[in-house]
C-alpha cells in the first residue's frame, strides 16, 4: 500500500514524507547515544569506579563504530557510491560529519579523565601517576619489574631500507619512536607494541598507586634499544575496517568463508589513527602515508589513547566507590532454596510452564536459574524427544551448548542453528559449531542472504495427553555473561500455536524455504513488517474515529524509513506515540503538524537496555472525560464493547530495515494478563524515569530528565527493588508491580511524570 493509498483518503493533503528534512542520519544519531554513554562518566551522581567503567565502554563503543560504520562508509566512498540516504547525505558527507563530530567527543573523554576522573581517584586514594612522579625507590622497583617481566615480551620493529614497514594490528596500542645511531644519520622509525598480556595499569602499590605500561616502556627505552639516541616518542593506535565480506552465494563452504573474513580483518584498511597530542609531524606523516589515511582521520589526543583496560579498577575492593552489587535473583516460579515452596526439576518445571506462561526479566532474574534450568531439564528429562535452539551469540564457556550436547548424549534429537555471521563472534561460534558436530548434533550455519537473529528455543515432550511443545522466545542471546548486564526479556510458554510456529521457523533453517503463514508469531522477513505496519495503521484508524489510540514501543533502534513514515502518519491522525529508543532514531519528534504527538526517550544506566516491547492500545475503552487530554498509562483501559484488548509483543527485532527484511526474527504476542501487567509496569516506569532518562529534541539532540523537587525515579533501580520484593514474598509474577519502589504513586497517568527542570547537555551494543 502506498502512502496515499489509505482506505479513508485522509493522506491527500499531507506533507511530503519523502522530504529529507523529516529524517535524522543513522550514524549521527548513534553518536548522540555515545554522548549519553560518555555523560555517565561525567555524572557526579554515578559512583566513581562506575564512571571509570563508562570511560572504557565509550572507547569500546567508538572502536566498534569506526570498525563497522565508518569502515562501511569508506568502502562505499572507494567504490564511488554517491547515492544519498533518506536524510539526504552521501557516504562522503556522512564520513566527514562523523569525523567532525567525534573529534570533540574524544576531547571531552580526555578532559573527563584528566580533569575529573583522575583527580577524583587520587582524592579517593587510587592514584594513576606519571612515571616522573614516582619516588626514587619506586622507580628502582619499576625498573626491576620492567627488566624482568616486560622487556622479554617486547619486540622493536624498525622501518628502514633493510626492514619493511611493520604490520600493525587492529586496536593494538603502540609506541612510535624516532632513533638514530649518530648525528649524521636520518632518524629511524621503530614501532613497539604495548603487550596485551601484561597489566596495562602497573601497580606501584597494589590497590592504590599505578603507572601506565606505555609510560613504563617509554621510560626504559635505554634497556630495550641501547646505543641509540631517542629523538621522539609518541603512543599511537590504529583502527581497521571490519566490514570485509565474501559473497555467501558463491562460497562453497560457509565455514571456510567465515574463516577468510576473520583473516581479512587482520589486514583490512585503516580508518582511524589516534596518536599522542605531542607527536612530531614527521611521525604523523609517516604513519598516514604508510596506512593510507587522510589528514581528517588523524586524532591527536592528550592522555591515554585506550581506556578499555581501566575497567580493571572496577575490581578493586572499594565498595565505597561502587554501586551496590546486584546479583540476579531466582524467578519465584522456579525458585530453589529456603524461601521456595517447591523445588522444580524435570517434569515439575514443564508442568509449571504448562500451567501459565512465565515472563523472565534479565538481569533482574537469573539466567542460570531460568533459561539454563529450562535447558537442563530438557536435556535430562526422559520424556523430552527433541530440542531445537537458535544461537546468535553465546559465552565462550557456554553451559547452553553443553546442555545441548548432554541432550544428544541422552538420545534426544537435537538441532542447533548457529549464526556464523554474528559480527565479532565468528571465531567463538566456529569453535562451538565444531564441538556440536563432533558430538553428532545437526548444525545449520545460516541462510543465504539472511542472518539468523531470532533468540528462540523449542522443547518437544511426550506427555500422557500427547506431544507438547514448550517454547522460549527472547529478546537477548543465550549468553550467561551478557545476561548479567543486559536488560532482556524471555517468554516461556506451552502455547501450541507459538510452538508450531517455531517448528516452522526451525524447519526453515534446514529446509529449502520459509513458510509465509504463521499462527501467532511475527516472523521476519515474511510477516513481521506487514503485521507491524497493520498494527500502526489500525491505531491511526481508531484515532481518526475518535477512539483511544496509543503506541508505546521500546527498542534498541528505530532506523527503517518506512516504519518512521508510518509513525508520522499515525501521529498526524492523532495517535499518542511514546518511543523508548536506546540508540539510533531516525524519527524527529515534535514537528508541528507531523509528529506533535510523538515523544522519544532513551534510558542509559548501569545495565544495557536491550529488550524490545511493543504495545498497541487497540481502541481499548472510551476516553476518560477527566484525563485532561493527558497521555494514558499503557494498558490502563479495560477492554469494552467499544474497543479491542490492548496488545503486547516481545522479541528479538528492532524497527530497522535489516531486522525486518534481512534477518530471521521472531516476535511473540503476550496474552497472559499478569505478564501484560509486568510489561505495562516496565513501560510506565521507563516513561517516568527522571534519573537515567533522556528526551529527544526535533534536531536529534537530547536533554537529560531531572527530578527537580519530585522523587527520583530510576528505571533499573526500581526494577531491582521490584524483583527483590517479589523474591522476598514469593510473588510468582517475578516482578512486584505493586511495590512502592519510589515515594508517591509511581503509576500515575499523564505525560509529564515529574520531569522537573531538564538540564540540557552539550553532548553513550545485538
Give CA–CA dist 219/204, Å, rounded: 15
CB atoms within 10 A of CB 419: 26
When computed from its CA atoms, the radius of gyration of the chain, rounded to whole angstroms, is 28
Give CA–CA dist 386/469, Å, rounded: 10
CA angle (272, 276, 281) in 5-degree steps: 85
Give CA–CA dist 295/657, Å, rounded: 33
3-state SS string for 702-739: EEECCCCCCCCCCHHHHHHHHHHHHHHCCCCCCCCCCC
Mapped onto helix, strand or coil, the DSSP state of residue 347 is: helix
Q: 154 with 175: CB under 8 angstroms?
A: no
DSSP letters spanning 244-278: ----TTT-S-HHHHHHHHHHHHHTPPEEEEEEETT
CA angle (430, 432, 434) in 5-degree steps: 75
Mapped onto helix, strand or coil, the DSSP state of residue 329 is: strand
In eight-state DSSP terms, residue 198 is S
Task: Pick the closest to residue 763 from 708, 707, 703 (CA basis).
Answer: 703
Annotated binding site for Mg(2+): 393, 423
Annotated binding site for ATP: 61, 486, 582, 610
Annotated binding site: 61, 393, 423, 486, 582, 610
CA angle (715, 721, 725) in 5-degree steps: 145
Give CA–CA dist 179/716, Å, rounded: 54
Sign (positive or negative) of CA dihedral 745, 595, 670, 718:
negative
Give CA–CA dist 547/533, Å, rounded: 19
Give CA–CA dist 235/284, Å, rounded: 11
**Segment (H or E) for 221:** helix 221-224
Task: Pick the closest to residue 470 from 494, 449, 448, 452 (CA basis).
Answer: 494
Task: Pick the closest to residue 602 from 22, 53, 40 (CA basis).
Answer: 40
In eight-state DSSP terms, residue 672 is -
Q: How many residues does the chain have?
A: 766
Which residues, including other chains, have CB under 8 Å from residue 474's CB and lie 6 or more apart?
360, 371, 455, 456, 488, 489, 490, 491, 651, 652
Give CA–CA dist 178/229, Å, rounded: 9
Per the annotation, the verdict on 453 as an active-site residue is yes
Q: 603 with 508: CB under 8 angstroms?
A: no
Residue 337 gets the label, from left (phi > 0), alpha (psi -120 to 50) or beta, of left
Question: Which residue among the candidates 453, 688, 727, 739 is catalytic per the annotation?
Answer: 453
CA angle (533, 535, 536) in 5-degree steps: 65
CA 356 distance to own-chain centroid: 30
Going by their DSSP bridges, the two strands 451-452 and 229-240 should be labelled as: unpaired
Give CA–CA dist 158/616, Å, rounded: 64
Residues designated as active site: 453
Amino acid at each position: 500500500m502506498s502512502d496515499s493509498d489509505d482506505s479513508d483518503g485522509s493522506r491527500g493533503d499531507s506533507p511530503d514524507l519523502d522530504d529529507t528534512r523529516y529524517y535524522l542520519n543513522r550514524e549521527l544519531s548513534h553518536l548522540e547515544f555515545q554522548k549519553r554513554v560518555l555523560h555517565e562518566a561525567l555524572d557526579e551522581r554515578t559512583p566513581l569506579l562506575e564512571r571509570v567503567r563508562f570511560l572504557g565502554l565509550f572507547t569500546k563503543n567508538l572502536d566498534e563504530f569506526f570498525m563497522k560504520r565508518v569502515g562501511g562508509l569508506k568502502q562505499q566512498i572507494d567504490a564511488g557510491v554517491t547515492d544519498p540516504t533518506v536524510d539526504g547525505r552521501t557516504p562522503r558527507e556522512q564520513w566527514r560529519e562523523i569525523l567532525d563530530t567525534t573529534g570533540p567527543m574524544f576531547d571531552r573523554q580526555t578532559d573527563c579523565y584528566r580533569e575529573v576522573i583522575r583527580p577524583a581517584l587520587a582524592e579517593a586514594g587510587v592514584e594513576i601517576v606519571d612515571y616522573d612522579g614516582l619516588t626514587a625507590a619506586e622507580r628502582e622497583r619499576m625498573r626491576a619489574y620492567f627488566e624482568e617481566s616486560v622487556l622479554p615480551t617486547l619486540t622493536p620493529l624498525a622501518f628502514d631500507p633493510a626492514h619493511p614497514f611493520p604490520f600493525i594490528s587492529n586496536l593494538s596500542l603502540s609506541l612510535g619512536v624516532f632513533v638514530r645511531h649518530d648525528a649524521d644519520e636520518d632518524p629511524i622509525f621503530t614501532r613497539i607494541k604495548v603487550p596485551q598480556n601484561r597489566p596495562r595499569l602497573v601497580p606501584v602499590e597494589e590497590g592504590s598507586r599505578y603507572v601506565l605500561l606505555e609510560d613504563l616502556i617509554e621510560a626504559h627505552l635505554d634497556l630495550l634499544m641501547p646505543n641509540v639516541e631517542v629523538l621522539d616518542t609518541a603512543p599511537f593506535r590504529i583502527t581497521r575496517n571490519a566490514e570485509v565480506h565474501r559473497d555467501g552465494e558463491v562460497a562453497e563452504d560457509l565455514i571456510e568463508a567465515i574463516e577468510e573474513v576473520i583473516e581479512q580483518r587482520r589486514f583490512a584498511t585503516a580508518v582511524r589513527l589516534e596518536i599522542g597530542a605531542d607527536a612530531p609531524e614527521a611521525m604523523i606523516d609517516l604513519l598516514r602515508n604508510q596506512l593510507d589515511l587522510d589528514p581528517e582521520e588523524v586524532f591527536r589526543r592528550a592522555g591515554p589513547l585506550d581506556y578499555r583496560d581501566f575497567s580493571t579498577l572496577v575490581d578493586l575492593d572499594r565498595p565505597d566507590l561502587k554501586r551496590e552489587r546486584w546479583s540476579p535473583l531466582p524467578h519465584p516460579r522456579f525458585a530453589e532454596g529456603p524461601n521456595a515452596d517447591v523445588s522444580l526439576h524435570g517434569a515439575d518445571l514443564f508442568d509449571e510452564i504448562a500451567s501459565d506462561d512465565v515472563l523472565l526479566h534479565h538481569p533482574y532474574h537469573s539466567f542460570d536459574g531460568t533459561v539454563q534450568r529450562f535447558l537442563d531439564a530438557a536435556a535430562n528429562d526422559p520424556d523430552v524427544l527433541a530440542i531445537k535452539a537458535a544461537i546468535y551469540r553465546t559465552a565462550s564457556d557456554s553451559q547452553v551448548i553443553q546442555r545441548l550436547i548432554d541432550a544428544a548424549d541422552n538420545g534426544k534429537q537435537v538441532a542447533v542453528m548457529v549464526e556464523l555471521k554474528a559480527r565479532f563472534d565468528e571465531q567463538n561460534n566456529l569453535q562451538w559449531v565444531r564441538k556440536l558436530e563432533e558430538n553428532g548434533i545437526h548444525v545449520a550455519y545460516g541462510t543465504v542472504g539472511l542472518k539468523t537473529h531470532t533468540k528462540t528455543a523449542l522443547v518437544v515432550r511426550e506427555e500422557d495427553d500427547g506431544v507438547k511443545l514448550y517454547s522460549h522466545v527472547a529478546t537477548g542471546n543465550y549468553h550467561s555473561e551478557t545476561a548479567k548486564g543486559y536488560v532482556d526479556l524471555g517468554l516461556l510458554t506451552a502455547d501450541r500455536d507459538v510452538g508450531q510456529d517455531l517448528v516452522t521457523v526451525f524447519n526453515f533453517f534446514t529446509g529449502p524455504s520459509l513458510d509465509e503463514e504463521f499462527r501467532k508469531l511475527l516472523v521476519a522477513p515474511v510477516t513481521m513488517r506487514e503485521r507491524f505496519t497493520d498494527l500502526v495503521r489500525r491505531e491511526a484508524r481508531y484515532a481518526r474515529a475518535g477512539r483511544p489510540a496509543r503506541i508505546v514501543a521500546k527498542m534498541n533502534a528505530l532506523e527503517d524509513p518506512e516504519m518512521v513514515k508510518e509513525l508520522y502518519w499515525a501521529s498526524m491522525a492523532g495517535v499518542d506515540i511514546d518511543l523508548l529508543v536506546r540508540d539510533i532514531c531516525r524519527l524527529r519528534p515534535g514537528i508541528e503538524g507531523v509528529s506533535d504527538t510523538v515523544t522519544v526517550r532513551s534510558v542509559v544506566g548501569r545495565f544495557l537496555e536491550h529488550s524490545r516491547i511493543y504495545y498497541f492500545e487497540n481502541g481499548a475503552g472510551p476516553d476518560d472525560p477527566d484525563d485532561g487530554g493527558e497521555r494514558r498509562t499503557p494498558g490502563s483501559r479495560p477492554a469494552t464493547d467499544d474497543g479491542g484488548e490492548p496488545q503486547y509483543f516481545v522479541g528479538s527485532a528492532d524497527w530497522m530495515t535489516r531486522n525486518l527484511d534481512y534477518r530471521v526474527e521472531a516476535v511473540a504476542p503476550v496474552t497472559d494478563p499478569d505478564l501484560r501487567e509486568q510489561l505495562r509496569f516496565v513501560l510506565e516506569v521507563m516513561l517516568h524515569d527522571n534519573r537515567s532518562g533522556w528526551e529527544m529534541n526535533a534536531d536529534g539532540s537530547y536533554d537529560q530528565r531531572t527530578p527537580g523537587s519530585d522523587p527520583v525515579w530510576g528505571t533499573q533501580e526500581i526494577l531491582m527493588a521490584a524483583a527483590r520484593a517479589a523474591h522476598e514474598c514469593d510473588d510468582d509474577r517475578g516482578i512486584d508491580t505493586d511495590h512502592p519502589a519510589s515515594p508517591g504513586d509511581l503509576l500515575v497517568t499523564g505525560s509529564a511524570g515529574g520531569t522537573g527542570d531538564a538540564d540540557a547537555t552539550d553532548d553513550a551494543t545485538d
